[in-house]
Amino acid sequence: MIESPTKVPDGMILQNPSTPGHHQYTSRAMPVTVLAMQSANVLGLDAPPDFPKPTETDYEAKVRLILDAPGHNNNPPTYKFQSNSGWLVTPAECLKIADGIDRQKEMLALHLFPDEGYSAEEGRLWLTCWANFNRLAATHGGYRVL
């Protein structure tokens, strides 16, 4: 179920007020979100792939294949959220994130977010928005981390 939050957390920037699912994170907020996903055991520890050299034949096609590849067991690799390289978070990965965050939301809100300088209430809102975004993205082909 996709809940409609009453507001957007301070760490998120609303992109279009008429479309609450479109947002981006501030530079301070994304590391906390990655930490929350790691704590919920939804991110994989795959090593970043080796990229082809720009001089290789079919360079752009090879890069696209790398950017679009899912993580092991549909666990999105942590590195997808540590750069703005255009990684595709696949629909299966989106659902893995949403389900894991939903399962661990209360624990993360109470224990992780206060340690990072946010209230438990802000943590719940943050996690609700992130899980909702991923659940919605799963129905639309996933999303790219830009």
**Residue 70 within a domain:** yes
Range of the domain at 87: 26-44+56-145
**Residue 141 within a domain:** yes
**Residue 96 within a domain:** yes
Residue type, 129: C
pLDDT of residue 14: 46
Domain count, the chain: 1
**Residue 137 within a domain:** yes
**Residue 9 within a domain:** no
**Residue 100 within a domain:** yes
Residue 14 bridge partners (DSSP): 23
Task: List the single range of 7-16, 36-45, 79-88, 134-143 with lowest mean pLDDT.
Answer: 7-16
Q: Rounded to the nearest 10 degrees, how much is the dihedral formed by the CA atoms of 113, 41, 80, 57? A: 170
Residue 132 near residue 2, CB atoms below 8 Å: yes
Distance CA(35)–CA(51), nearest Å, equals 26
Residue 36 near residue 127, CB atoms below 8 Å: yes
**Segment 82-103 mean pLDDT:** 93
pTM of the model: 0.82
Model confidence at 80, pLDDT cuts 50, 70, 90, reads: very high
**Residue 10 within a domain:** no
Q: What is the pLDDT of residues 113-126, one digit of tens each?
A: 999 888 999 999 88
**Residue 103 within a domain:** yes
Residue bearing the bigger pLDDT, 1 or 26: 26
